[in-house]
Structure 1
Amino acid sequence: MSFVVLLLAILIEKFSSLRQRFQRDGGWLRELHALEASPKFVTRPWLVLAILILCPVALLALLLWVLDPVAYGLLALPVHVLVVIYSLGRGDVEAGLGPFRDAWRRGDLQAGAHVAERDLGITAENGEQLLEKVQSHLLWQSYQGFFAVIFWYFLLGPVAALSYRLLALAAEQGKNPELVERAQQLRHAFDWVPVRLLAASFALVGNFAAVGRVMLHELLNWHISAEQLINKAGCAAAEIAAPQAGPEGIVSLDTLWALLLRAALLWYAGFAVWTLLL
């Protein structure tokens, strides 16, 4: 059922607005901010994370346990699909780059810096650094918003996918530094395997030798962040040249997007083969 769910999630995400309507984090974030600011919990970040992540996950596990035996699991199918859709990243990564792409294509570095800060939260000291950060943003958001989610869903089901998204929300939206640090530590552990699997996929669909040189030194490095690793591997696989203003710079974003699409097709082909073998 996992492969069918992943196919349905992609079709719904691409051809409907259900994702935007369903991905509502306001209630959960209010509870997060209330608990991390509470005097009883301000020094207990682990307890806050346990309450806000384990409780929803436990309720989901209980619901699936009840629904799975009914009608050969057909009642559980929509729950799986909705959880995967909710667990995907927030916003449309490619569409979000549109204003930046337009400004950069015109060679308007000032406008590019403005829209990057406004839409992507990215600031830089110069144009070259700005484009590099946007490239990194594209790779990281695609990884954490899609690849990490489908990896954990296919491996361990909707409970793992939901856990990853809630942990990511805590790490990104938390206001208590201790809680954010703990959430980032747990997320780093969640990211360790899928980010290396995606880097290996980049090698298969891109420049194998260049990615191999990167992975040779970083494969077992626990301390390198997932964002740094995926940026290094992605740029090496796509053979990204030095940043340039104008249409030449936009080509690098198109090249990275094409690399991500090929990697996604490779993953889905792998999921299909694995499903058939089982």
Structure 2
Amino acid sequence: MTFLSILFALLLEQLKPLRADNPVYREIKAFAVRMETWFNAGDAAHGRLGWFLMMFALMAPVSLVYWLLLRYNWIFAAFAWNVLIVYLTLGFRHYSHYFTSIQLALNAGDEAAARALLAEWTKQDTIGMEANEISRIAVEKALITTHRNVFGVFFWFLMPLGPAAAVMYRVSEYLARAWNEPEHMRNEAFGEFAAKAFYWIDWIPARLTAVAFAVVGNFEDAVYAWRNFADRWKDEAIGIILAAGGGAMGVRLGTPVENAAKLVVSEAGEITDEEVDTLPGEEPSVRALQSTVGLVWRALLLWMMLLLLLSGAVWLG
């Protein structure tokens, strides 16, 4: 049932992709705002309480419905419930129109349109960016978005809690951003637990995504970049995914600080470059966008093949 649920949800999303501003997401975002308003008294313990209450409020109904459907042996209804929850938690097509439009604009030489689309997608200043910089940021955003909206959901949906675990993953990812990234929430104690919780929830999925990128891409360069460069990103999970993804495609991702040679201080106090530790690959270009599409689809097929094998082993067992 697990494999078919994911397969049908993916097909449904291809036919009828959910918009990022759909009513379900809007209600969850509004709920998160209310929880922050009710519980934020400037203490980390309040953020922890708000996080657990919000998770319980969203996961309990999903688990209860699924349990009742299985309890009364309504298999097809339980299958439909799984498909619905996976469909709502996946985001494979939420932002793909941005990526595709940026790729088309750059291919047409319209850097101004590409910058405008990238700014709308990433909510950052893109004024003055050249094609290579636009391509790099678009590739990075696509890899991270795919991991958090697809592969992370896959992993948690396979866990015993099933659809409720998928909800937990997506909501925890959103709370880690919503309670920390806005200007009025930065450096506030309230969002500390949300960030730590998502770090541990995403610890295994992030590494599995990196492994998938390595397997379907250039394995040696992906592993080399992962081992030597992942720790240069401020966010550990993002560093692992981008280092492995860039190595798999033969593209240098990250800022100059993140992909520069490692600085070494000699005994004489001189700072030198350790050239052996330079990130392999080429500077991102418009071609890197097409390489990203291929890498993501190959990784998706790998996940689905492994899931099919696992489901078959369970069924035969």
TM range (shorter): 0.7 to 0.9
The one-letter code matched in structure 1 to 2:108 is R
Question: Once the 2 structures are TM-superposed, how far is the Cα of residue 35 of structure 1 from its aligned partner?
Answer: 2.5
* Aligned counterparts, 1:9-88, within 5 A: 9-17=9-17, 19-20=18-19, 24-38=24-38, 43=43, 44-71=46-73, 73-88=75-90
Which residue number corresponds to residue 136 of structure 2? 132
* CA shift in 2, pair 1:160/1:83, >3 Å: same
Q: Which residue of 2 is the match for residue 264 of structure 1?
A: 300
Give the whole-Å Cα distance in 1 for the aligned partners of 2:302 and 2:231. 23
Select 1:250's aligned residue among 280, 286, 289.
Answer: 286
**CA-to-partner distance for each residue in 1:17-40, whole Å, 9 max, x for gaps?**
5x3496622222222212212367
Match of 1:211 in 2: 222
Q: State the TM-score, normalizing by the size of structure 2.
A: 0.77
AA in 2 matched with 1:235: G
Structure 1 residues 58 and 42 mapped into 2: Cα distance closer, same or farther (>3 Å)?
farther
Change (3 A) 1:200 1:39: closer
The 8 Å contact of residues 122 and 133 in structure 1, kept in 2 or not, is answered as: no
Separation (CA, whole Å) in 2 of partners of 1:2 and 1:219: 32
Q: Look up the equivalent residue of 1:114 and give its one-letter code.
A: A
Instruction: Kindly indicate whether the alpha-carbon contact (under 8 Å) linking 2:157 and 2:165 is maintained by their aligned counterparts in 1.
Output: yes
Letter in 1 for 2:60: A
Residues 126 and 40 (structure 1), Cα distance of their counterparts in 2 relative to 1, 3 Å cut: closer
**Which amino acid is the alignment partner of residue 274 of structure 1?**
L
Pairwise mapping of residues 195-206 of structure 1 onto structure 2 (< 5 A)? Answer: 195-206=206-217
Which residues of 2 match residues 154-193 of structure 1 at below 5 A? 154-156=158-160, 157-174=162-179, 176=185, 177-193=188-204
1:2 alignment counterpart = 2
Please provide the CA RMSD for this pair: 2.6
Deviation at 1:41, TM superposition (A): 5.1
Separation (CA, whole Å) in 2 of partners of 1:220 and 1:118: 29
Name the count of aligned residue pairs: 272
TM norm structure 1: 0.87
- Partner of 1:37, secondary structure, is helix
Q: Which has the larger radius of gyration?
A: 2
Q: Percent identity?
A: 23
Instruction: Measure the CA separation in 2 of the matches of 1:53 and 1:255.
Output: 37
1:147 and 2:151 are equivalent in the alignment: yes
Stretches of structure 2 lacking an aligned partner (at least 5 in a row): 252-281
CA distance in 2 between counterparts of 1:219 and 1:36 reads 32
Cα distance 1:136–1:220, how it changes in 2: closer, same or farther (>3 A)? Answer: closer
Q: Is the 8 A contact 1:196 1:219 kept in 2?
A: no
Amino acid at match of 1:209: E
Deviation of the 1:218 alpha carbon: 7.0
Deviation at 1:83, TM superposition (A): 1.0
What amino acid is the match of 1:2?
Answer: T
2:172 partner letter: L
SS at match of 2:109: coil
Q: Give the partner amino acid of 2:110.
A: D
Instruction: Answer whether contact 2:90 2:149 (CA < 8 A) is retained.
Output: yes
Shift of 1:183: 1.7
Q: Which amino acid aligns with 2:26?
A: G
Where does the alignment leave 5 or more consecutive residues of structure 1 unmatched?
Answer: 244-248
- Distance in 2 between residues matched to 1:77 and 1:188, nearest whole Å: 30
Report Cα offsets for 1:124-151 as digits up to 9, x if no partner. Answer: 4632333211110010111111111011
Change (3 A) 1:90 1:213: closer
Shift of 1:224: 4.7
Closer, same or farther: CA 77–16 of 1 in aligned 2, 3 Å: same
Mapped to 2, the partners of 1:220 and 1:275 lie a distance apart of: 35
1:203–1:68 Cα change, 3 Å: same
Deviation digits for residues 153-211 of structure 1 (CA, Å, limit 9, x no counterpart): 02331111000111122223335443433222211111111111121112211101101
Q: Of 100, 103, 108, which residue of structure 2 is paired with 1:101?
A: 103
Letter in 2 for 1:143: H
AA aligned to 1:105 is: N
